[in-house]
């Protein structure tokens, strides 16, 4: 699933490492022990210049079944490079940083070139006065484009033989409003952090004296081509972006943007057929927010067959390819395998879905990275020419934001709401003209013009001058008011009906929803109203009722609002309700293209206490309870297309 739109860095040579005179690259000054201390390497970095709908999956070699998307110029450009030489066991040898680079020929073959020098003394420490064996001549070359200052400082302090640099972690702190952030520049325009997509094995001369042939900038040693002495290093170095990208488009089919018809299932006993027809209800999505974005990831990607760090049996590999059955290893794999402590979630995630008690409320939502959909749809469009046939482009995807890598180790049950990166959609209930004929009381309630029927007592409340009742969902049917419709229909259905028994119509015990509702009606306007409402909510939700209470949205006005939760799908196994390896997650260098294509029922209530099945940290990401369908196209950038359906 992770289509690494791995793009290529053609290292047509390397450049400097420590201790060179940048102002005089052709200097022949002698270094220690009488050696000329400047050895030259040249580097050309070749960047990408050119470039199926449904649930996406990972193909062998790490590609996506959806295709590949070309990045924008500002996602491909390289301003500076950190180059690291390591032994075949990844023990540090030397490094150098080259800045002030320019990407040229952007319309054809964009390249970045750099010439620098490496201290021959630094190389000599690797040779230790000996002739290198065939194995010692083989080295690994790592490239970090647009690196962070922390990574540069780590390499500055590295010494010969050090292997800890391979496990360096990038920490990203992102906040709404942009204050107090850290390392968010890794997705800044023209400064995207990139690193090896695969290990680059190269060969160097067997003796330190052989480097004397490369002591001038006009004749550098070539790490991507042929050299004298029979050393052939032909082959470019592939790099990938270190973050992923989320795109979004309006997946609705009607005239009103982001608006979906709620259909009603109808059974015809004469034909024994089930069909769907318009219910008179619509849901309009107005906001979407990113939740659970990981705070940390490894600078160098790594994979294993269980998602954990290297052990004797898990086929761990640095910069290895993702396959349909292995895992990309995350920094916090051990934390993700056990029971989740809600108090720790904010330690590991930006924009955590839950508060420290594992609940969602208005204060919790303030910490999500949320946007108006109309604003997102005004963002820059994607590059779809490389993967989407023109005759299938009905609406364009728009670039939303960049997201850090977040993967979850085996077993599949570890993929849970508290730790999976997701998107929360906020929806508003709308009435069509048909609703007046189909359910007049509901039409009036949605408009905020509700009046209790004559002779009926009930609990109502005002929102910005409009009057609303509580709406109830029970067994996929909506009821307006308790005494208005719940009691009325329960009696019509009969004493043995599920509605009658759940409502507790004839139950006078303290836990009867019906009794507690009548207590609430009496308590309205008194100092016991909130306590009475809480007691009724608890009893009603325990009996299977979902309660919806109207509220005011600062941009969309008063009405009934609810939420849909989508966990980002990475490696689709095509089996709803059953999770596979890496089914949910975010992997670097992928583009996740999201579109809500269907909404089949109301979402989770705004007030968690009104929800008989609230979202909780330990909930599995896929449990068969589908509210909405999201199309996800995941391209290597790599593209992954996720069509979202809320059932």
By C-alpha distance, which of 468, 481, 480 is closest to 551?
Answer: 468
The mean per-residue pLDDT over the stretch 636-642 comes to: 62
Task: Quote the pTM value.
Answer: 0.90
The owner of tokens 């979850």 is 408
41-45, 233-237, 375-379, 607-611: least confident range: 41-45
CB atoms under 10 Å from CB of 496, counted, come to 7
Q: Which pLDDT value is given to residue 577?
A: 79
Structure tokens at 416: 């849970």
Q: Quick one: which H or E segment has residue 347?
A: helix 345-348
Round the CA-based radius of gyration of the chain to a whole number and report it: 30
As a residue count, the chain comes to 647
CB atoms under 10 Å from CB of 552, counted, come to 12
Residues 6+ apart with CB under 8 A from 606: 548, 549, 551, 561, 562, 563
Q: Which pLDDT value is given to residue 202?
A: 92
Q: Which pLDDT value is given to residue 273?
A: 73
Query: What percent of the chain stands above pLDDT 90?
Result: 65
What confidence tier does 340 reach under pLDDT thresholds 50, 70, 90? very high
SS (H, E, C) 187-224: HCCCCCCEEECCCEEEECCCCHHHHHHHCCCCCCECCC
The mean per-residue pLDDT over the stretch 448-462 comes to: 96
The number of CA neighbours under 13 Å toward the Cβ of 124 is: 16
- Give the strand pairing for 551-553 and 557-559: antiparallel
Q: Which pLDDT value is given to residue 561?
A: 99
Task: Write out pLDDT tens, residues 61-103.
Answer: 555 556 677 788 888 888 888 989 999 999 999 888 888 876 6
Which residue ranges make up each domain of the chain? Answer: 449-549
What confidence tier does 369 reach under pLDDT thresholds 50, 70, 90? very high
The mean per-residue pLDDT over the stretch 481-510 comes to: 96
CA–CA gap between residue 154 and residue 157 (Å, rounded): 5
What confidence tier does 189 reach under pLDDT thresholds 50, 70, 90? very high
CA–CA gap between residue 105 and residue 647 (Å, rounded): 49
Helices 529-542 and 513-523 pack at an angle, to 10 degrees, of 160
Q: Which pLDDT value is given to residue 222?
A: 83
- DSSP per-residue letters across 410-421: SSGGG-BTTTS-
What confidence tier does 608 reach under pLDDT thresholds 50, 70, 90? very high
In degrees rounded to 5, what are phi and psi of residue 486?
-60, -55
Sheet strands (E) in 499-589: 546-548, 551-553, 557-559, 561-567
Q: Quick one: which H or E segment has residue 468?
A: strand 466-469
CA–CA gap between residue 576 and residue 622 (Å, rounded): 7
The mean per-residue pLDDT over the stretch 370-385 comes to: 87
Q: Which pLDDT value is given to residue 626?
A: 62
Q: Which residues pair with 565 in a beta bridge?
A: 424
CA–CA gap between residue 67 and residue 632 (Å, rounded): 12
By C-alpha distance, which of 109, 270, 89, 222 is closest to 163?
Answer: 89
DSSP three-state, residue 180: coil
What confidence tier does 235 reach under pLDDT thresholds 50, 70, 90? confident
What confidence tier does 138 reach under pLDDT thresholds 50, 70, 90? very high
By C-alpha distance, which of 287, 285, 267 is closest to 277?
Answer: 267
Q: What is the largest CA-CA distance in the chain?
A: 106
What confidence tier does 14 reach under pLDDT thresholds 50, 70, 90? very low
CA–CA gap between residue 141 and residue 82 (Å, rounded): 11
What confidence tier does 43 reach under pLDDT thresholds 50, 70, 90? low
Task: Write out pLDDT tens, residues 397-450.
Answer: 999 999 999 999 999 999 999 999 999 999 999 999 999 999 999 999 999 999
Which of the pair, 258 or 265, is modelled with greater confidence? 258
Which of the pair, 14 or 356, is modelled with greater confidence? 356
* CA distance to 246, 291, 647, per residue, from 351 (Å): 16, 5, 26
Q: Which pLDDT value is given to residue 623?
A: 77
Average pLDDT score over the chain: 86
Asked if the model's pLDDT at residue 638 lies above 70, the reply is: no
What confidence tier does 34 reach under pLDDT thresholds 50, 70, 90? very low
Q: Which pLDDT value is given to residue 625?
A: 65
CA–CA gap between residue 229 and residue 620 (Å, rounded): 59
435, 441 Cβ separation under 8 angstroms: no
Asked if the model's pLDDT at residue 373 lies above 90, the reply is: yes
Torsion of CA 337, 341, 345, 348, to 10 degrees: -50
The mean per-residue pLDDT over the stretch 256-275 comes to: 79
DSSP three-state, residue 511: coil
The mean per-residue pLDDT over the stretch 352-370 comes to: 97
Asked if the model's pLDDT at residue 353 lies above 80, the reply is: yes
- DSSP per-residue letters across 75-112: HH--S-EEEEEEETT--EEEEEEE-----B-TTS--EE
Sheet strands (E) in 326-465: 327-328, 349-350, 369-372, 398-403, 422-431, 460-463
Q: Quick one: which H or E segment has residue 521?
A: helix 513-523
Asked if the model's pLDDT at residue 212 lies above 80, the reply is: yes
Q: Which pLDDT value is given to residue 107?
A: 46
540, 487 Cβ separation under 8 angstroms: no
Asked if the model's pLDDT at residue 527 lies above 80, the reply is: yes
70, 58 Cβ separation under 8 angstroms: no
Asked if the model's pLDDT at residue 10 lies above 50, the reply is: no
The owner of tokens 């970095």 is 45
The mean per-residue pLDDT over the stretch 108-136 comes to: 81
């Amino acid at each position: 699933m992770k289509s690494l739109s791995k793009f290529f860095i053609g290292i047509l040579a390397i450049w400097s490492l420590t201790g060179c005179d940048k102002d005089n690259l052709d200097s022949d000054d002698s270094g220690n022990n009488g050696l000329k201390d400047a050895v030259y390497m040249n580097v050309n970095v070749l960047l990408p210049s050119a470039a199926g709908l449904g649930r996406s999956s990972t193909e062998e070699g790490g590609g996506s079944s959806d295709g590949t998307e070309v990045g924008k110029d500002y996602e491909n450009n390289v301003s500076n490079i950190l180059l690291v030489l390591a032994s075949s066991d990844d023990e540090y040898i030397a490094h150098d940083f080259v800045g002030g680079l320019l990407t040229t020929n952007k319309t054809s073959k964009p390249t970045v070139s750099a010439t620098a020098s490496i201290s021959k003394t630094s190389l000599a420490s690797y040779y230790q006065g000996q002739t290198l064996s065939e194995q010692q001549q083989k080295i690994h070359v790592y490239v970090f484009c647009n690196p962070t200052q922390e990574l540069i400082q780590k390499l500055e302090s590295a010494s010969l033989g050090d292997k800890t640099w391979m496990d360096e972690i990038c920490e990203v702190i992102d906040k709404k409003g942009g204050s107090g952030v850290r390392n968010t520049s890794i997705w800044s325009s023209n400064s995207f952090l990139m690193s090896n997509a695969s290990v680059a094995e190269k060969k160097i001369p067997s003796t330190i004296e052989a480097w004397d042939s490369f002591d001038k900038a006009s004749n550098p040693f070539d790490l991507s081509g042929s050299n004298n002495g029979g050393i052939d290093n032909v082959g470019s170095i592939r790099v990938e972006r270190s973050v992923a990208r989320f795109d979004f488009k309006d997946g609705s089919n009607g005239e009103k943007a982001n608006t979906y018809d709620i259909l009603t299932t109808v059974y015809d006993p004469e034909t024994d057929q089930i069909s769907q027809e318009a219910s008179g209800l619509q849901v309009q999505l107005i906001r979407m927010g990113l939740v659970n974005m990981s705070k940390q990831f490894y600078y160098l990607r790594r994979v294993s067959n269980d998602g954990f760090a290297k052990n004797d049996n898990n086929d761990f590999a640095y910069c290895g390819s993702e396959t349909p059955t292995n895992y990309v290893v995350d920094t916090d794999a051990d934390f993700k395998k056990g029971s989740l402590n809600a108090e720790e979630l904010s330690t590991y995630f930006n924009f955590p879905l839950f508060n420290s008690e594992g609940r969602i409320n208005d204060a919790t939502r303030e910490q999500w990275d949320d946007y108006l959909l109309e604003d997102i749809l005004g963002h820059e469009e994607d590059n779809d020419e490389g993967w989407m046939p023109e005759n299938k482009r009905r609406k364009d995807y728009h670039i939303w934001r960049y997201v850090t890598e977040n993967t979850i180790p085996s077993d599949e049950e570890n993929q849970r709401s508290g730790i999976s990166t997701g998107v929360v959609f906020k929806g508003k209930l709308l009435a069509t003209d048909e609703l007046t004929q189909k359910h007049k009381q509901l039409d009036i309630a949605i408009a905020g013009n509700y009046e209790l029927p004559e002779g009926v007592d009930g609990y109502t409340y005002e929102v910005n001058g409009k009057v609303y009742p509580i709406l109830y969902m029970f067994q996929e049917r909506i009821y307006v008011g308790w005494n208005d419709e719940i009691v009325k229909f329960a009696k019509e259905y009969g004493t043995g009906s599920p509605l009658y028994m759940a409502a507790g119509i004839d139950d006078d015990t303290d836990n009867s929803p019906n009794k507690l509702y009548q207590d609430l009606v009496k308590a309205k306007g008194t100092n016991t109203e909130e306590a009475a409402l809480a007691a009724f909510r608890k009893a009603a939700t325990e009996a299977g009722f979902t309660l919806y209470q109207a509220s005011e949205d600062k941009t969309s006005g008063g009405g009934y609002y609810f939420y849909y939760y989508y966990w980002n799908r990475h490696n689709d196994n095509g089996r709803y309700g059953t999770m596979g390896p890496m089914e949910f997650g975010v992997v670097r260098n992928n583009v996740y293209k999201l579109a809500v294509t269907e909404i089949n029922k109301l979402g989770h209530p705004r007030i968690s206490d009104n929800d008989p099945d609230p979202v909780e940290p330990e909930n599995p990401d896929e449990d068969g309870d589908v509210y909405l369908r999201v199309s996800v196209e995941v391209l290597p950038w790599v593209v992954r297309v996720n069509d979202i359906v809320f059932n």
